[in-house]
Amino acid sequence: MKRVALLTAACSFVLIAAAAAAPDSKDAAADAAKTDAASFFNAPDSTTEGSATVEGKRIDYQAVAGTILVHAEGWDDAAAEKSGGGDKDKDDKEQPAEASMFYVAYFKKGTGPRPVTFIYNGGPGSATVWLHMGAFGPKRIVTADDTHTPAAPYKFINNDYSLLDASDLVFIDAPGAGFSRIRGKDAKKAFYGIDQDGHAFAEFITKFLSKYNRWNSPKYLFGESYGTTRSAVLSAILANDYAVDLNGVILLSQILNFDLSVDGPTTNPGVDVAYEVALPTYAATAWYHKKLPDSAPKDLQALLKEVENFAMNDYALALGAGSALPEAKFDEIANKLHEYTGLPVSYIKKANLRIDGGEFEKSLQDDADLTTGRLDTRFSGPSMDPLSQRSDYDPQSAAISAAYVSAFNNYVRTELKYGEKKAYKLFAEVFPGWSFEHKQPGMGFAFPGATNVMPDLAFAMKYNPDLKVFLNAGYYDLATPFFEGVYEMRHLPIPKSLMSNISFAFYPSGHMVYAHEASLKQLHDNVAAFIEKTDNIPGQ
């Protein structure tokens, strides 16, 4: 209530001030806003130099922080050039939609060919501060492993596990997020959607390749969370529309088929697979918090193997039977779920054997009035409402977000010399206008159903049979459960001969695998090895 009151008071102040202002103040404010927006489109690149020590080896690099202008799909650049690029004096709403996409590129100094990896977070609409400051940038923020990180000052250190030893790196902010901005007629409609976003990133990448003469470099995509959805779409667009063959697509915390999300399967009755693929993560979480009965396997890997088998067989058959499931079998499955989740049998029965992610997060540690994390279930925090059915917030997000935001805002201005007097937006305002309609490869129209980009990744793999895919996932991720990613890969519509192009790695961490330092080292080593194996550079 206090927060609402403060917001109301702030809005009231603005309205009162506007009413008391001079008649032309509205025009002046509009001009100021337009000037401010233009500064994001006209800002010069900033080039700096630095060094990092990666697993004991010094790497000198050049960093470029800047923007690349992209347009919506169907933009006619030849016509725009003929007309002089448009009338800059026109009202913003009359200009064609365009986005100024912010990036930070790190180029290792020295000679010889180098791979280039395009890196982005998800959201959709998230800035790429998380992968930049937590995973692969030359500097990283230090956060507590599974508890709330104390407030500033935060610890900011050399990143021993930056990916700069294996590849040049390009961290990209989605349109409208970070220092990226959009403008022009129907700009949100032009960039805020599955296909619109994919085309914006495709244009960004091809323009980057031209700007830095990197067309002949080995090329990789690295996306996290919704970034994996984007990578599937983007890999197909790059192959089909731009004739760009990728060496590899690296997926972290994957979601390609949104019907498999355990966040809200209760709104999608009749489709039960989400409960099945989330069960191994429930078990791993209950194991971590010591909520399992004494009869449960003590070894996590043995437990997961057992639970995966149960989920895909007995549990799947029971859910598939629906109301026809015999009562004795219903009781048997409920008791087995208790063994694997630690939840009371009575609760499981009341939920009709179907517990969604928010219910599990709220209920697992209810006896201690604690809510379990969603992005990383190793985290816990005080329950906002002890009587609520589902979790009211994510303790892991609350525990580390401030550290990441503070670290990047300080780093980009003091070391990269970019962003003075500019606001860095953690998320673009993509909702409620985000379009989930998606035109799968080969379809004549965008399908308005649940998002599923598995056909896109399959198309890219069939179009380029040498394309390698590397899935990375954390055992304690309930935003995109690790077994969900495995299930999706096992069901890609590709020939069996291409299944060998897919590899997997799993970590004792959550959605942001790199928030756990030991897992960050493993992630770095695995991704670096994947790039070295697939970059096709002679002698490497």
Q: pLDDT digits over 69-106, tens only?
A: 999 988 776 655 555 454 444 555 578 999 999 999 99
| CA distance linking residue 58 with residue 61, whole number of Å | 10
pLDDT of 57 higher than 90: yes
Instruction: Examine the domain organization and report whether 377 and 407 are in the same domain.
Output: no
Share of residues in the chain with pLDDT > 90 (%): 81
pLDDT of 373 higher than 80: yes
Instruction: Examine the domain organization and report whether 100 and 236 are in the same domain.
Output: yes
Instruction: Examine the domain organization and report whether 510 and 438 are in the same domain.
Output: yes
| CA distance linking residue 138 with residue 486, whole number of Å | 31
Mean pLDDT across the stretch 462-480?
Answer: 98
Nearest to 71 by CA among 179, 182, 173: 182
pTM, two decimals, is 0.91
Q: What is the pLDDT of residues 145-171, one digit of tens each?
A: 888 989 989 999 999 999 999 999 999
Where residue 502 sits, what CATH number does that domain have? 3.40.50.1820
Nearest to 394 by CA among 403, 384, 402, 404: 384
Q: What share of the chain is helix, strand, coil (3-state, %, to 5)?
A: 45, 20, 35
Mean pLDDT across the stretch 452-468?
Answer: 98
So what's the pLDDT on residue 121?
98
Q: How many CB atoms within 10 Å of residue 157?
A: 9
Which of 396, 430, 445 is the last residue before a domain boundary? 396
Reported as half-sphere exposure (CB side, CA atoms, 13 A), residue 142 has a value of 9
Instruction: Examine the domain organization and report whether 186 and 251 are in the same domain.
Output: yes
- Residue 256, classified by CB atoms within 10 Å of its CB into exposed (0-12), middle (13-18) or buried (19+), is buried
Helices (H), 70-143: 77-82, 129-131
Instruction: Examine the domain organization and report whether 249 and 111 are in the same domain.
Output: yes
User: Residue by residue, what is the 3-state secondary structure of 450-470?
Assistant: CCECHHHHHHHHHHCCCCEEE
User: Residue by residue, what is the 3-state secondary structure of 386-399?
Assistant: CCCCCCCCCHHHHH
Q: Which residues lie across from 71 on neighbouring strands?
A: 98
Instruction: Examine the domain organization and report whether 455 and 366 are in the same domain.
Output: no
Nearest to 179 by CA among 518, 519, 421: 421
**Total domains present in the chain:** 2
The mean pLDDT value of the chain amounts to 90
| CA distance linking residue 519 with residue 507, whole number of Å | 6
Range of the domain at 340: 271-396
So what's the pLDDT on residue 443?
85
Q: How many CB atoms within 10 Å of residue 460?
A: 27
Show the tokens assigned to 195: 């296909």
So what's the pLDDT on residue 395?
86
Q: What is the pLDDT of residues 208-267, one digit of tens each?
A: 999 999 999 999 999 999 999 999 999 999 999 999 999 999 999 999 999 999 998 999
Mean pLDDT across the stretch 440-456?
Answer: 89
Q: What is the pLDDT of residues 286-323, one digit of tens each?
A: 999 999 988 788 899 999 999 999 999 999 999 999 99
Instruction: Examine the domain organization and report whether 411 and 389 are in the same domain.
Output: no
pLDDT of 433 higher than 80: yes
Q: What is the pLDDT of residues 3-18, one digit of tens each?
A: 333 333 333 323 223 3
* Sign of the torsion formed by the C-alpha atoms of 137, 143, 149 and 155: negative
Nearest to 200 by CA among 121, 78, 130, 97: 97
Which of 396, 426, 442 is the last residue before a domain boundary? 396
For residue 110, give the amino acid letter. Answer: G
369 dihedral zone (left: phi>0; alpha: psi -120 to 50; beta): left
Instruction: Examine the domain organization and report whether 294 and 353 are in the same domain.
Output: yes
- Residue 38, classified by CB atoms within 10 Å of its CB into exposed (0-12), middle (13-18) or buried (19+), is middle
The string of DSSP codes covering 52-64 is: EEETTEEEEEEEE
Instruction: Collect all residues with Cβ–Cβ distance below 8 Å to 15 and sequence separation of at least 6.
Output: none
Which of 396, 412, 427 is the last residue before a domain boundary? 396
* β-pair type (468-474, 502-507): parallel
DSSP, collapsed to helix, strand or coil, labels residue 315 as helix
* β-pair type (468-474, 248-254): parallel
Nearest to 471 by CA among 488, 455, 459, 458: 488
Show the tokens assigned to 435: 């379009």
pLDDT of 506 higher than 60: yes
421 located within any domain = yes
Instruction: Examine the domain organization and report whether 61 and 186 are in the same domain.
Output: yes
Nearest to 69 by CA among 183, 159, 204, 253: 204
For residue 185, give the amino acid letter. Answer: K
Reported as half-sphere exposure (CB side, CA atoms, 13 A), residue 528 has a value of 16
264 vs 428, more confident = 428
Nearest to 299 by CA among 508, 55, 71, 38: 508
Report the Cα 119 to chain-centroid distance in Å. 10
So what's the pLDDT on residue 447?
78
Instruction: Examine the domain organization and report whether 290 and 383 are in the same domain.
Output: yes
Buried b (16+ CB within 10 A) or exposed e, 1-33: eeeeeeeeeeeeeeeeeeeeeeeeeeeeeeeee
Instruction: Examine the domain organization and report whether 328 and 242 are in the same domain.
Output: no
So what's the pLDDT on residue 1?
31
